[in-house]
Amino acid sequence: MANMNLTPAVKTVLVMALVLASVLAGGCLREYDTTSLQINKVDISAEVVDDDIVQLDIISYVSNSGKTSGEVDIQAKAYNLATSLLMADEKISMGKIGKDRTRNGTVELQVPITGNYRVEVTMYEDGGLVTSGKATISGLESLLSSPKHSYINIRDVDVTMTARGDTTTTLKVTTFLDNYGRSDSAPLTALVKLRDAKTNLIGKSGNINVGVVKADTTLVKDIELEVPKDRDYRVEIMIFENDRIITEYGVSFFMAPDSQGEEDVVKKTRSVSTTETITTEFIQPTPPEPYDYGVYRTGDYGVPMAGPGFGVFLGIAGLLAVALLLRKRK
């Protein structure tokens, strides 16, 4: 091969072309060495905590089609639709997500059951924003009237005199418990109290091991209590589930010879055990429109960055053409 005597100018142009090609080629290779995180789907379930509070479980499914990610965090916020006030805000860490992996994480938010909410979910990588989306939740009150699990209610209470002595009376308290739900209840216990109507003191109390109340059934439980005779009483019943009162019942009855009181019945249902998944549409922001040329790639925090296009090769060809022209002139 004939020796090519190149002038310093030509050499300079060729070196510049090689440097430019190396830099741009490195940018092309980096195209495949970035994370590509996205939220594929968000499921929201609701569980009644008590009469006033509901817990929203925000389940986010995150996939990564690029290299192993940095530390991924998911933040969920619930805003009241009527007031736009922030009602709950929680964040969880999902750690690092490997290449071509999908992982899910659950954020728990507790909000008043009477409101309608906008739920916003935001994903971060190493503290930087990647993407976000939102969904609307409404009609949470329906969970109280359509329980999926157990729903315990005291239908009625009967009081019967079974024995009468010189100073005391034995009373049998019969409680009718309904389970309106579609699942069996947890093991239940009951506290029965006989309160003196005049002194407001507890004359006698006792516990009942209720046990499990089958779905869509009524359970009858009795207890006998001995109290001073010829006095007016109020029977009070509390039903416990896992050391928590879930329903109460109170009724007055009269045994004193001079009684003129009227029947007074009070019912209170404190809580319902129920869980329901709410179907929502998770809306992610519209991504920015790409240019008409070049290739877009995802940077560390999901910000679109333009990669090298056909203009790169045109620049290299131009530099080579200048080098050939200079050689011919010599």
- pTM of the shown model: 0.44
Q: Give pLDDT, residue 13.
A: 61
Residues 281 and 136 in one domain: yes
Burial grade of 237 (CB within 10 A; 0-12, 13-18, 19 or more): buried
Residues 209 and 316 in one domain: no
> Does residue 91 lie within any of the structural domains?
yes
For the four alpha carbons of 197, 199, 205 and 210, in that order, the dihedral sign comes to: positive
Distance CA 94, CA 71 (A): 7
Q: Is the pLDDT of residue 143 over 70?
A: yes
Q: Is the pLDDT of residue 127 over 60?
A: yes
Q: Which residue has the higher pLDDT, 279 or 175?
A: 175
Distance CA 187, CA 209 (A): 8
Q: Give pLDDT, residue 151.
A: 77
Residues 253 and 319 in one domain: no
* Pair 73, 128: CB distance under 8 Å: no
Distance CA 178, CA 159 (A): 18
Model confidence at 49, pLDDT cuts 50, 70, 90, reads confident
> Does residue 301 lie within any of the structural domains?
no
Q: Give pLDDT, residue 223.
A: 94
DSSP three-state, residue 164: strand
The number of folded domains in the chain is 3
> Does residue 166 lie within any of the structural domains?
yes
Domain that holds residue 17: 8-31+307-329
Q: Is the pLDDT of residue 36 over 90?
A: no
> Does residue 25 lie within any of the structural domains?
yes
Backbone angles phi, psi at 242, to 5 degrees: 55, 50
Chain mean pLDDT for the chain: 76
Count of all residues that appear for the chain in the document: 330
> Does residue 292 lie within any of the structural domains?
no
The percent of residues in the chain predicted with pLDDT above 70, rounded, is 66
Burial grade of 78 (CB within 10 A; 0-12, 13-18, 19 or more): buried
Residues 206 and 179 in one domain: yes
Q: Give pLDDT, residue 153.
A: 86
Model confidence at 140, pLDDT cuts 50, 70, 90, reads confident
pLDDT digits (tens, 9 = 90+) for 178-218: 987 777 888 999 999 999 988 999 989 999 999 999 988 99
Residues 128 and 43 in one domain: yes
- Per the DSSP assignment, residues forming a β-bridge with 221 are 175
Give the CA radius of gyration of the chain.
Answer: 37
Distance CA 194, CA 187 (A): 24
* Cβ density class 149-171: b for 16+ within 10 Å, e for less: bbbbbbeebebeeeeeeeeebbb
Residues 218 and 231 in one domain: yes
> Does residue 199 lie within any of the structural domains?
yes
Helix axes 310-329, 8-30, angle to 10 degrees: 170
pLDDT digits (tens, 9 = 90+) for 237-256: 999 988 888 888 888 888 77
Q: Is the pLDDT of residue 26 over 60?
A: no
What one-letter code names the amino acid at 190? A
Q: Is the pLDDT of residue 305 over 80?
A: no
Question: Domain with 169 in it: what CATH number?
Answer: 2.60.40.10
User: How far is the CA of 70 from the CAs of 4, 38, 282, in angstroms?
Assistant: 51, 13, 24
Q: Give pLDDT, residue 15.
A: 60
DSSP 8-state assignment for residue 100: T
Q: Is the pLDDT of residue 286 over 70?
A: no
Q: Any idea what the Cα angle at residue 292 is, between residues 286 and 297, rounded to 5°? A: 60
Backbone angles phi, psi at 326, to 5 degrees: -65, -35
CA atoms within 13 A on the CB side of 54: 28
Q: Which residue has the higher pLDDT, 330 or 157?
A: 157
Residues 170 and 136 in one domain: no
Residues 65 and 211 in one domain: no
Q: Which tokens go with 72?
A: 């991924």
Residues 26 and 42 in one domain: no
> Does residue 2 lie within any of the structural domains?
no
Residues 92 and 134 in one domain: yes
pLDDT digits (tens, 9 = 90+) for 62-114: 999 888 889 999 999 999 998 999 999 999 999 999 988 999 999 999 999 88
Residues 133 and 181 in one domain: no
Residues 76 and 218 in one domain: no
> Does residue 237 lie within any of the structural domains?
yes
Q: Which residue has the higher pLDDT, 145 or 177?
A: 177
